[in-house]
Amino acid sequence: MAVSLGLEDVFIKYTGLTFIDGNAGVLRYRGYDINDLVQNTGFEEVCYLMTNGELPNSQQLAEFKKSVKEHYKLPDHVMELISDLPREADTLTMMETAFASLSSGDYQWNKENDRKQVPKILGENLGIISNIYRHKMGMGLQNPDPKYDYAEAFLRNCFGNADEKKISAMNAALVIYVDHEVPASTTAALVASSTLSDMYSCITAATAALKGPLHGGAAEAAYKQLLDIGNVDNVENWFKTNILDGKRRLMGFGHRVYRTYDPRMKIFKKLATTLEQTDEQKKLFEIAVKLEELGVKEFGGKGIYPNTDYYSGIVFNEIGFPIYMFTTLFGFSRVLGWLSHITEYVEEEERLIRPRAVYTGPDKRDFVKMQDRK
């Protein structure tokens, strides 16, 4: 009996959320190309689109934004919990802990309730992630200002202010990372939701999966790789020594689905050039471009190209975030994708996810008492 390790090419649900053509490098949310959405929408519009299936009109968008902003303020116990966590703790662990603390055992799934929960959780999500950053930086915790839209409110709560270019880049990053079908974290959320567990517990399960280095952490690894190279003049020698001769993995390259350029990577690469760069950031970008050229030349024929995480760390750092926040910023955006998938699954095709395993152990054996064992 054949087993598909890693559930590769196993379809576990029908979805109207995200379309991927890995050979052509196409990504669409609800039928809209990722490039069009990044260029023409705010994150809240995409939230409404993913939740309701259509882009909102002005009144619908205003009402949705209002619902989200009403929940920027976190419950006192969540603020106290974050502030009590060790500052040296991993930021995804903090995120996981905060969402688990919001879990409610009396949640009942139904379409009306689900639609109300999504903007509530998105608002709380902003409060959680921005205050995790504040806690890590040794700043006092504070609730985001509801007079600002999502990306701006987030950056202002993290840094105190934000210019238009950084707000635009943060908005784009949020849209880019919203969803990508059913990777490991989304699958974990779906498994939890199939038991009819509450939304917060599903997000907690997804975040636990995201913590693993084979899923989350790619942006951090790709960025650290650039730091390791150090200078654009070192790229060719580093590539030969570490990748060609040393057989190390080129971080930020390759994807389970894409066999060409990841369209999200192209957007992040362009974003990196629109933000003001320090001399160090300019150097890292030049290293990344040169390394990309060598990587594509060597591996492109095998369908291995840069993925979305290759340049995203550069963008996050240019916005102002340290390396330890990169994967949590991925999760900050992906909460919307997790919510969209679990509501779609429970509302349209709910069935307990219970796969099987192929037994490879011994045949029936007679029990041997302790005194008779060798």
Considering just the CA atoms, what is the radius of gyration of the chain in Å? 22
Q: What are phi and psi of 118, to 5 degrees?
A: -60, -55
In contact, 262 and 307? CB cutoff 8 Å: yes
Distance CA 312, CA 334 (A): 14
Whether 71 is catalytic = no
> CA-CA distances (angstroms) from residue 268 to 227, 263, 313, 345, 372?
18, 9, 9, 30, 66
> CA-CA distances (angstroms) from residue 48 to 66, 271, 361, 373?
12, 24, 50, 65
Please, which residues have CB within 8 angstroms of residue 235's CB and are 6 or more apart in sequence? 229, 287, 290, 291, 294
Distance CA 332, CA 329 (A): 5
- The DSSP symbol for 3 reads -
> CA-CA distances (angstroms) from residue 178 to 113, 262, 332?
22, 15, 9
Compute the residue count for the chain: 374
Please, which residues have CB within 8 angstroms of residue 115's CB and are 6 or more apart in sequence? 51, 52
Whether 21 is catalytic = no
Distance CA 221, CA 102 (A): 31
Among the listed residues 179, 255, 262, 341, the single catalytic one is: 255
Q: What are phi and psi of 103, to 5 degrees?
A: -60, 140
Sheet containing 26-29: give its strands across: 18-21, 26-29, 32-33
Work out the number of other CB atoms within 10 angstroms of the CB of residue 35.
15
> CA-CA distances (angstroms) from residue 80 to 63, 239, 267?
30, 47, 38
Give the CA angle between residues 117, 166, 59 to the nearest 5°: 40
The structure tokens listed for 251 are 């971080």
**Catalytic residue set:** 255, 309
